[in-house]
Structure 1
Amino acid sequence: MARRRPWEVEDELWELIEPLLPKVERRFRYPGRRRLDDRKALCGILFVLYTGIQWEFLPQELGYGSGMTCWRRLRDWNAAGVWSRLHELLLARLQAAGALDWSRAVVDSSSIRAVKGGPKTGPSPVDRARAGSKHHVITDGGGVPLAVTLTGANRNDITQLMPLIHAVPPVRGRVGRPRRRPGRLFADRAYAHDKYRRQLRAQGIRPVIARRGVEHGSGLGVHRWVVEQTLALLHWFRRLRVRWEIRDDIHEAFLSIACSIICWRRLQRHHSLR
């Protein structure tokens, strides 16, 4: 039996995605060329995400259509909110399975080079002031990505602490009110500021943030490693290692898809262990 390639969408995952896609009716008069199947277009998008290949070099023999067609679907589906709804749906599935750890959350960031510049880029302090962007991630206690934001590489991490908290969607899946806030928040010294500690407490979150001026070895790494693992998983997708997109919404779409794939894999692993 041939092994399924990673960018080919599984039947179970497609059953979740297909209802989220906007329906496009074919015109009765002058219908033009038949529209590429949505599932094939999605496979083309995932091929680019996994391999990092440029859109114009998408191999035609794969049957996923042209790179421009796949790019348009990515743009249109992102504008329709497909990827954010998919992420919320998978988080709800994980919540229903008891696979989310709300006792704590962890935040961190990672810088990447932005080859062509564009919105949400800036001189990177870790890359000799070349144009770059930064991925900011918040995960649950087990490393499941709850939200991700994109900024210029010159933005201070602390500026994205509260936006990350507010970006966590209401996660359903269990009886009662949707869950949005963790019990504690772990972060490194880059997030150390009393103003933001007060804001976290006002949200009902206990801050556990390393203080500046204190020697390394606070012990927070025991809990913080999960977000570093999640960032590594995001950058395992080659398209996210370097930002090739001038448009920030396209890169954010790729980020959201990658988060959904990580959630899907975590859900599959949870079910296989039961």
Structure 2
Amino acid sequence: MTSLAERLVPDELWELFRRVVPETVVVRPQGGGRRRAGDRECMAAIVFVATSGCTWRQVPPLFGPAWPTVYRRFARWSKERVWARLHRVILDELGAQGGLDWSRFAIDSVSVRALKGLLTGPNPTDRGKNGSKIHLVTDRSGLPVAVAISAANTHDSLALKPLVASIPPIRSRRGLRRRRPDKLHGDKGYDYPHLRRWLRSRGITPRIARRGIESSGRLGRHRWVIERTMSWLAGCRRLHRRYERKPEHFLAIATSLINYRRLTK
């Protein structure tokens, strides 16, 4: 493999990926044919597309497989939810090493331009142009634990319940798996009594700024980590301007890469 492919998919990341990718057995009764392109080379090309923002046709030939092969492999893995399973595996490894801090989580969202596809709507912060909104829950250090995508005109408060409920049960250094933080920090967009009651019913202490009472700047002491994570997501340039109908697959790739970098530090 080339040095670029090895840098995009290091050995440690490849070993984690092998745990979730389904094994493919190629049978050619007639014999002959070309050798099947390697999964690692295809994954490196997919990571290159996600981080560079290029189109599938612009995949460099140095990876080995042609761009139609890379796209078909991406489509098949996306259908089989390989990227979501990879994110779960990396979270489990982080949890087993004590890399997740459950004492305080944060929730926020960021709007991105979306030219077409599902989960798009007029963005009120971008002159009504089509866009999507990425909703994110991170731990105390800013590691993404749960992510979701909605139309840009979706209110932040509507995403709190499904996003918190989607936090997977993650391994701990000792004891049972865990999926609920001690506290959840949010801005004034989540300041609703029913959301506070719902969080308390699940054993989560809400730390949400109250409209007309508290300053959002005070929450910035704890919420700056999620702002930093959103800048990390900017490293996945395919999320900047959406072309896919189902962008959640690239979002899972981006969050997996963020958590993997923390895992190998």
**Cα shift at 1:176:** 2.1
Partner of 1:80: 80
1: CA distance between counterparts of 2:82 and 2:216?
Answer: 42
Partner of 2:131: 132
Partner of 1:93: 93
Partner of 2:59: 58
Q: 1:168 to 1:215 in 2, by over 3 A?
A: closer
Q: What's the Cα RMSD here?
A: 1.8
Instruction: State the SS of the aligned residue for 2:19.
Output: helix
2: CA distance between counterparts of 1:198 and 1:6?
Answer: 48
Q: 1:27 to 1:97 in 2, by over 3 A?
A: same
Runs of 4+ with deviation above 6 angstroms: none
2: CA distance between counterparts of 1:181 and 1:172?
Answer: 12
1: CA distance between counterparts of 2:216 and 2:14?
Answer: 45
Alignment check: 8 A CA contact 2:188 2:216 kept = no
Alignment check: 8 A CA contact 1:93 1:173 kept = no
2: CA distance between counterparts of 1:129 and 1:219?
Answer: 31
Q: 1:155 to 1:34 in 2, by over 3 A?
A: same
Q: 1:40 to 1:16 in 2, by over 3 A?
A: same
**Cα shift at 1:102:** 0.1
Partner of 1:188: 187
Alignment check: 8 A CA contact 2:120 2:152 kept = yes
Partner of 2:253: 257
2: CA distance between counterparts of 1:4 and 1:59?
Answer: 11
**Cα shift at 1:103:** 0.5
Q: 1:126 to 1:6 in 2, by over 3 A?
A: farther
Q: Deviations over 1:61-111 (max 9, x none)?
A: x13422232222222112222212211111111112212110010000000
Q: Deviations over 1:14-59 (max 9, x none)?
A: 1111131111111231464432110000011001011000111212
How many residues of Structure 1 are paired with residues of Structure 2 in the alignment?
Answer: 263
Alignment check: 8 A CA contact 1:108 1:187 kept = yes
Q: 1:6 to 1:127 in 2, by over 3 A?
A: farther
Partner of 2:10: 10
Q: Deviations over 1:163-208 (max 9, x none)?
A: 1101111101433221100000000011111111111111110100
**Cα shift at 1:217:** 5.0
2: CA distance between counterparts of 1:42 and 1:98?
Answer: 28
Partner of 2:237: 238
Instruction: State the SS of the aligned residue for 1:220.
Output: helix
Alignment check: 8 A CA contact 2:187 2:216 kept = no
Partner of 1:45: 46
Instruction: Give TM-score scaled by structure 2 length.
Output: 0.94
Greater Cα offset, 79-88 or 142-151: 79-88
**Cα shift at 1:261:** 0.8
Partner of 1:142: 141
Partner of 2:35: 34
Greater Cα offset, 176-185 or 21-30: 21-30
1: CA distance between counterparts of 2:253 and 2:176?
Answer: 26
**Cα shift at 1:7:** 5.5
1: CA distance between counterparts of 2:121 and 2:163?
Answer: 20
2: CA distance between counterparts of 1:217 and 1:135?
Answer: 20
2: CA distance between counterparts of 1:167 and 1:74?
Answer: 24
Alignment check: 8 A CA contact 1:51 1:238 kept = yes
1: CA distance between counterparts of 2:113 and 2:17?
Answer: 31
Instruction: State the SS of the aligned residue for 1:219.
Output: helix
Alignment check: 8 A CA contact 2:106 2:226 kept = yes
Gaps of 5+ in 2: none
The amino acid across from 2:146 in the alignment is: A
1: CA distance between counterparts of 2:260 and 2:216?
Answer: 34
Greater Cα offset, 198-207 or 165-174: 165-174
Q: 1:4 to 1:40 in 2, by over 3 A?
A: closer
Q: In the alignment, does 2:154 pair up with 1:155?
A: yes
Alignment check: 8 A CA contact 1:210 1:218 kept = no
Gaps of 5+ in 1: 270-274
1: CA distance between counterparts of 2:189 and 2:128?
Answer: 19
Instruction: Give TM-score scaled by structure 1 length.
Output: 0.91
The amino acid across from 1:52 in the alignment is: G
